[in-house]
Protein backbone atom coordinates (compact mmCIF):
# COMPACT_ATOMS: atom_id res chain seq x y z
CA UNK A 1 0.00 0.00 0.00
CA UNK A 2 1.37 3.49 -0.81
CA UNK A 3 2.58 5.64 2.07
CA UNK A 4 0.43 8.55 3.28
CA UNK A 5 2.30 11.14 1.20
CA UNK A 6 1.95 9.06 -1.98
CA UNK A 7 -1.77 8.62 -1.37
CA UNK A 8 -2.32 12.36 -1.20
CA UNK A 9 -0.50 12.97 -4.50
CA UNK A 10 -1.55 9.88 -6.45
CA UNK A 11 -2.34 10.17 -10.15
CA UNK A 12 -6.04 10.08 -10.92
CA UNK A 13 -7.14 7.27 -13.22
CA UNK A 14 -10.22 9.13 -14.44
CA UNK A 15 -10.90 12.48 -16.07
CA UNK A 16 -13.96 13.95 -14.39
CA UNK A 17 -16.17 15.80 -16.82
CA UNK A 18 -19.19 17.19 -15.00
CA UNK A 19 -22.24 17.00 -17.23
CA UNK A 20 -25.64 18.38 -16.46
CA UNK A 21 -28.00 16.14 -14.55
CA UNK A 22 -31.39 15.50 -16.06
CA UNK A 23 -34.43 15.73 -13.77
CA UNK A 24 -34.61 11.92 -13.60
CA UNK A 25 -31.00 11.83 -12.37
CA UNK A 26 -31.79 14.27 -9.56
CA UNK A 27 -34.90 12.28 -8.70
CA UNK A 28 -32.90 9.05 -8.54
CA UNK A 29 -30.40 10.58 -6.12
CA UNK A 30 -33.14 12.04 -3.96
CA UNK A 31 -35.12 8.82 -3.67
CA UNK A 32 -32.59 6.01 -4.18
CA UNK A 33 -29.19 7.15 -2.90
CA UNK A 34 -30.15 6.49 0.75
CA UNK A 35 -30.84 2.89 -0.27
CA UNK A 36 -27.93 2.19 -2.63
CA UNK A 37 -25.30 4.78 -1.78
CA UNK A 38 -22.19 4.09 0.28
CA UNK A 39 -21.11 7.06 2.36
CA UNK A 40 -17.40 6.70 3.01
CA UNK A 41 -14.47 9.11 3.01
CA UNK A 42 -10.70 8.57 3.24
CA UNK A 43 -9.62 8.33 6.84
CA UNK A 44 -12.78 6.55 8.00
CA UNK A 45 -11.18 3.11 8.01
CA UNK A 46 -12.48 -0.23 6.82
CA UNK A 47 -16.09 -0.83 5.88
CA UNK A 48 -18.11 -3.52 7.66
CA UNK A 49 -19.74 -5.08 4.60
CA UNK A 50 -21.72 -7.63 6.63
CA UNK A 51 -23.37 -4.69 8.40
CA UNK A 52 -23.74 -2.71 5.16
CA UNK A 53 -25.54 -5.53 3.33
CA UNK A 54 -27.12 -7.13 6.38
CA UNK A 55 -25.55 -10.52 5.74
CA UNK A 56 -22.31 -12.43 5.27
CA UNK A 57 -21.80 -13.09 1.55
CA UNK A 58 -19.00 -13.12 -1.05
CA UNK A 59 -18.17 -9.59 -2.21
CA UNK A 60 -17.55 -8.45 -5.80
CA UNK A 61 -15.94 -5.10 -6.64
CA UNK A 62 -16.61 -3.39 -9.99
CA UNK A 63 -14.44 -0.36 -10.73
CA UNK A 64 -16.01 2.05 -13.22
CA UNK A 65 -19.58 0.81 -13.51
CA UNK A 66 -20.53 3.43 -16.10
CA UNK A 67 -24.29 3.56 -16.65
CA UNK A 68 -24.68 0.35 -14.68
CA UNK A 69 -25.94 -1.84 -17.49
CA UNK A 70 -23.53 -4.68 -16.71
CA UNK A 71 -23.57 -4.20 -12.93
CA UNK A 72 -27.36 -4.33 -12.66
CA UNK A 73 -27.71 -7.33 -14.96
CA UNK A 74 -24.95 -9.29 -13.24
CA UNK A 75 -26.20 -8.36 -9.79
CA UNK A 76 -29.67 -9.60 -10.69
CA UNK A 77 -28.29 -12.87 -12.07
CA UNK A 78 -26.07 -13.49 -9.03
CA UNK A 79 -28.03 -12.51 -5.93
CA UNK A 80 -26.01 -14.78 -3.64
CA UNK A 81 -23.05 -12.41 -3.92
CA UNK A 82 -22.91 -8.73 -2.95
CA UNK A 83 -21.66 -6.13 -5.42
CA UNK A 84 -19.87 -2.87 -4.66
CA UNK A 85 -19.84 -0.64 -7.75
CA UNK A 86 -17.49 2.34 -7.94
CA UNK A 87 -18.21 5.24 -10.29
CA UNK A 88 -17.46 8.96 -10.38
CA UNK A 89 -20.13 10.24 -12.76
CA UNK A 90 -23.47 11.04 -11.09
CA UNK A 91 -25.44 10.43 -14.29
CA UNK A 92 -24.13 6.88 -14.52
CA UNK A 93 -24.80 6.28 -10.83
CA UNK A 94 -28.38 7.53 -11.22
CA UNK A 95 -28.90 5.17 -14.16
CA UNK A 96 -27.51 2.26 -12.14
CA UNK A 97 -29.78 3.02 -9.21
CA UNK A 98 -32.79 3.12 -11.51
CA UNK A 99 -31.79 -0.23 -13.01
CA UNK A 100 -31.27 -1.70 -9.55
CA UNK A 101 -34.65 -0.48 -8.38
CA UNK A 102 -36.38 -1.96 -11.43
CA UNK A 103 -34.82 -5.35 -10.60
CA UNK A 104 -35.39 -5.12 -6.87
CA UNK A 105 -31.70 -5.56 -6.06
CA UNK A 106 -30.72 -5.78 -2.42
CA UNK A 107 -27.17 -6.95 -3.12
CA UNK A 108 -25.82 -3.69 -4.61
CA UNK A 109 -24.15 -0.64 -3.08
CA UNK A 110 -22.49 2.21 -4.95
CA UNK A 111 -19.51 4.34 -3.99
CA UNK A 112 -19.11 7.66 -5.81
CA UNK A 113 -15.50 8.75 -6.05
CA UNK A 114 -11.92 7.74 -6.69
CA UNK A 115 -11.49 3.97 -6.29
CA UNK A 116 -7.86 4.08 -5.14
CA UNK A 117 -8.33 5.42 -1.58
CA UNK A 118 -11.16 2.90 -1.19
CA UNK A 119 -8.76 0.10 -2.12
CA UNK A 120 -6.04 1.33 0.20
CA UNK A 121 -8.17 1.96 3.28
CA UNK A 122 -11.69 0.52 3.16
CA UNK A 123 -11.22 -3.10 2.11
CA UNK A 124 -9.58 -5.87 4.11
CA UNK A 125 -6.95 -8.17 2.57
CA UNK A 126 -8.47 -11.22 0.86
CA UNK A 127 -11.99 -9.84 1.31
CA UNK A 128 -13.06 -9.87 -2.36
CA UNK A 129 -14.45 -12.78 -4.35
CA UNK A 130 -13.99 -10.99 -7.68
CA UNK A 131 -12.66 -7.75 -9.16
CA UNK A 132 -14.20 -6.40 -12.38
CA UNK A 133 -12.74 -3.65 -14.53
CA UNK A 134 -14.83 -3.36 -17.68
CA UNK A 135 -13.93 -0.89 -20.44
CA UNK A 136 -11.96 1.54 -18.26
CA UNK A 137 -10.86 4.94 -19.52
CA UNK A 138 -8.20 4.05 -22.14
CA UNK A 139 -6.22 7.29 -21.88
CA UNK A 140 -5.20 6.89 -25.54
CA UNK A 141 -2.32 9.37 -25.64
CA UNK A 142 0.96 7.69 -24.75
CA UNK A 143 1.91 10.39 -22.26
CA UNK A 144 -1.30 9.64 -20.37
CA UNK A 145 -0.85 5.85 -20.16
CA UNK A 146 0.36 6.28 -16.56
CA UNK A 147 -3.23 7.22 -15.71
CA UNK A 148 -4.65 3.86 -16.74
CA UNK A 149 -6.12 1.92 -13.85
CA UNK A 150 -4.38 -1.32 -14.85
CA UNK A 151 -0.86 -0.54 -13.64
CA UNK A 152 1.47 -2.87 -11.71
CA UNK A 153 0.99 -1.09 -8.39
CA UNK A 154 -2.81 -1.04 -8.67
CA UNK A 155 -2.97 -4.66 -9.78
CA UNK A 156 -0.76 -5.63 -6.84
CA UNK A 157 -3.13 -3.84 -4.47
CA UNK A 158 -6.22 -5.43 -6.03
CA UNK A 159 -4.70 -8.89 -6.00
CA UNK A 160 -3.99 -8.48 -2.30
CA UNK A 161 -7.69 -7.81 -1.74
CA UNK A 162 -8.74 -11.00 -3.57
CA UNK A 163 -9.21 -14.23 -1.68
CA UNK A 164 -7.21 -17.24 -2.96
CA UNK A 165 -9.09 -18.52 -6.00
CA UNK A 166 -10.77 -15.15 -6.53
CA UNK A 167 -11.19 -13.79 -10.07
CA UNK A 168 -9.71 -10.66 -11.66
CA UNK A 169 -11.76 -9.92 -14.80
CA UNK A 170 -10.94 -7.11 -17.23
CA UNK A 171 -12.44 -6.19 -20.59
CA UNK A 172 -11.54 -3.53 -23.14
CA UNK A 173 -12.05 -2.68 -26.79
CA UNK A 174 -8.72 -0.85 -27.09
CA UNK A 175 -6.11 -3.20 -28.52
CA UNK A 176 -2.99 -1.56 -27.09
CA UNK A 177 -4.59 -1.31 -23.66
CA UNK A 178 -5.52 -4.99 -23.90
CA UNK A 179 -1.87 -5.80 -24.56
CA UNK A 180 -0.81 -3.70 -21.58
CA UNK A 181 -3.41 -5.39 -19.37
CA UNK A 182 -2.18 -8.81 -20.43
CA UNK A 183 1.44 -7.86 -19.75
CA UNK A 184 0.72 -6.32 -16.34
CA UNK A 185 -1.59 -9.07 -15.12
CA UNK A 186 0.77 -11.80 -16.33
CA UNK A 187 3.67 -10.16 -14.51
CA UNK A 188 1.82 -10.16 -11.17
CA UNK A 189 3.13 -13.31 -9.41
CA UNK A 190 0.02 -13.76 -7.27
CA UNK A 191 -2.23 -14.10 -10.34
CA UNK A 192 -2.49 -16.81 -12.98
CA UNK A 193 -4.14 -16.60 -16.38
CA UNK A 194 -7.13 -18.89 -16.84
CA UNK A 195 -6.49 -18.86 -20.61
CA UNK A 196 -3.34 -19.08 -22.70
CA UNK A 197 -3.78 -15.48 -23.84
CA UNK A 198 -7.01 -13.47 -23.94
CA UNK A 199 -10.10 -15.31 -22.73
CA UNK A 200 -13.35 -15.89 -24.59
CA UNK A 201 -16.05 -13.53 -23.39
CA UNK A 202 -17.77 -15.38 -20.53
CA UNK A 203 -21.51 -15.79 -20.90
CA UNK A 204 -22.16 -14.13 -17.57
CA UNK A 205 -20.74 -10.79 -18.74
CA UNK A 206 -23.58 -9.11 -20.66
CA UNK A 207 -22.95 -7.34 -23.94
CA UNK A 208 -23.73 -3.70 -23.22
CA UNK A 209 -24.77 -0.84 -25.45
CA UNK A 210 -21.26 0.59 -25.10
CA UNK A 211 -19.71 -2.69 -26.22
CA UNK A 212 -22.04 -2.99 -29.20
CA UNK A 213 -20.97 0.47 -30.33
CA UNK A 214 -17.34 -0.63 -30.20
CA UNK A 215 -18.06 -3.73 -32.26
CA UNK A 216 -20.02 -1.66 -34.79
CA UNK A 217 -17.01 0.65 -35.08
CA UNK A 218 -14.85 -2.37 -35.93
CA UNK A 219 -13.06 -2.74 -32.60
CA UNK A 220 -12.29 -6.16 -31.18
CA UNK A 221 -13.36 -6.95 -27.62
CA UNK A 222 -10.73 -8.41 -25.30
CA UNK A 223 -11.51 -10.25 -22.06
CA UNK A 224 -8.85 -11.16 -19.52
CA UNK A 225 -9.65 -13.64 -16.76
CA UNK A 226 -7.02 -14.19 -14.09
CA UNK A 227 -7.26 -16.09 -10.81
CA UNK A 228 -5.60 -15.42 -7.46
CA UNK A 229 -3.09 -18.15 -6.62
With beta carbons less than 8 A apart as the criterion, state whether 185 and 223 touch.
no
pTM metric for this prediction: 0.92
Active-site pick, 137, 173, 203, 223? 137
How many whole angstroms separate alpha carbon 49 and alpha carbon 173?
32
pLDDT for 16: 55
Distance from the Cα of residue 41 to its chain's centroid: 18
How many whole angstroms separate alpha carbon 124 and alpha carbon 9?
23
CATH of domain 4-228: 3.40.50.150
Question: 8-49, pLDDT tens digit by residue?
Answer: 457 777 665 666 677 888 999 999 999 999 999 999 999 999
80 is catalytic: no
**Residue 95 confidence (pLDDT) above 90:** yes
How many whole angstroms separate alpha carbon 217 and alpha carbon 209?
12
- Sort 94 into a burial class: Cβ within 10 Å, 0-12 / 13-18 / 19+: buried
Instruction: List the chain domain ranges.
Output: 4-228
Amino acid sequence: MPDEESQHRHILTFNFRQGRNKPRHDEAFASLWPRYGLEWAPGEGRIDFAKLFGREAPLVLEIGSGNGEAAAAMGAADRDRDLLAVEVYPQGIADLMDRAEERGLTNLRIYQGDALPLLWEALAPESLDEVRVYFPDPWPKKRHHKRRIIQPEHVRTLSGLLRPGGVFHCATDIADYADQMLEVLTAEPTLENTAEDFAPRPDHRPVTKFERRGVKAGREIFDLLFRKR
